[in-house]
Amino acid sequence: MDTFIETYNIYNLNVNQKYSTCPICSSKRSIKNQKQKCLIVNWDKGFATCQHCRIVIQIHGAKRAHNFFNSFRYKEDIPGSRHSIEFFNEVVFKFKNDTNNFSNFLESYFTREKIFEAERKLLIFSSSDFYTKSIAFPYINEKEQITGIKLMPYNSQGKRIKNKDGNGVVNWIHSLYKIKDWNNDFCLFGLHQIIERSDKSVHIVESEKTAFVMTIVKPEFIWLATGGLMMLNRKKLLPLKNYRIVLHPDKGNAFNIWSGLAKEFPELNIIVSRITEDNPFIDDKGDLADYYLKQ
C-alpha cells in the first residue's frame, strides 16, 4: 500500500529521537521538571504519547495514494519478526543461575513458591545481558511464537532504574543482539496462557509488572499486559474474540482512553473495569499492583 503524508509534525518534534519533551504540559510543570523527556515519539505509527499528561499528539497522517510514490510503506505490510525456540532457550539459560532484582523484591510480600509459579506461567526469566539482574518479559502469542523479549532493570528496592532524563530504562533482546531487519509485531504479554487454560475471560493491564504481581495475587485469572497505554489495538485483541475481555487501565486519563478504544471494537466482548478508577487508595496513574503491594 503506497502512502503519502497529509499532515506533518505541527509541534516540530524531533522525529529522529524516541523521547522528547511534551509541547502541551512541559511549560506548565515546575522549572525542575520542564525539560523532562516524557513524550514517546512513534514515527511509524504517526503519533506521540506523553507519559505525564497522557495526551496523544498526531505527528503525521498517512493516506493511501495510487501511483503517487512508494518511498514510505507501513511496517504492518511486512510479516512480523519472530525469535526461534533455539534462540529463546539460549537467552533463557544464559543466566539460569541468576535471579532478578524485581522478583527478589517481591519476596518481601509473597512466598518464593508463589513468585516462582507466576514466573512459570508467564515464562519470565532473569538476564544480565542488559543491566545486571534485569527481568525479562517474553511476548509469546497464541501460536507459541516469540514475538519479542522485553528487558527491564529494577533496583533492589523494586524501583525502575531510570536514565539521566528520568525515564525508565528498557530494552528489547532483538535490539540488544542487533538482529537485522526486525519488524515489531508484538502480541499481548502473557497471551500464550490461553493455549493450555480453559478460562472464558481474561484480564488486561498496562504493565508487565502489574500482570506479574496480579498473577501472584489472583492466580485463578489469566492476566495479560499491553506494555503501555497506547499499545492496545484490534489486532492484539482478535485472538481473544471468544473471550470476555476485562480491561484494567491505570487510574486517571487511561480509563477514558481505553473506554474509547473499547467502543471501537463492538465485535469483541470488552468490559472496562472501574476497580482501579474508583479505589480511593490508588493514586493517580497508579494500578492494581500498586494497591496490592501497599496492602
Domain extents in the chain? 3-77, 85-176, 191-294
Would the pLDDT of 294 be above 80?
Answer: yes
pLDDT of residue 56: 75
Beta strand 244-247 with 39-42 is: unpaired
Q: Is 133 left (phi over 0), alpha (psi -120 to 50) or beta?
A: left
What is the CATH number assigned to the segment(s) 191-294? 3.40.1360
> What's the pTM value of the predicted model, to 2 decimals?
0.76
Give the least confident one: 21-35, 165-179, 236-250, 257-271.
21-35
Residue holding cell 505525564? Answer: 52
Measured distance CA(166)–CA(136) in Å, rounded: 21
Q: How confident is residue 49, by pLDDT bands cut at 50, 70 and 90?
A: confident
Q: How confident is residue 295, by pLDDT bands cut at 50, 70 and 90?
A: confident
**Chain mean pLDDT for the chain:** 87
209 or 47, which is more confident: 209
Give mean pLDDT, residues 262-278.
94
What tens digit of pLDDT does each residue of 186-240 get? 999 999 999 999 999 999 999 999 999 999 999 999 999 999 988 898 999 999 9
Residue holding cell 472464558? Answer: 200
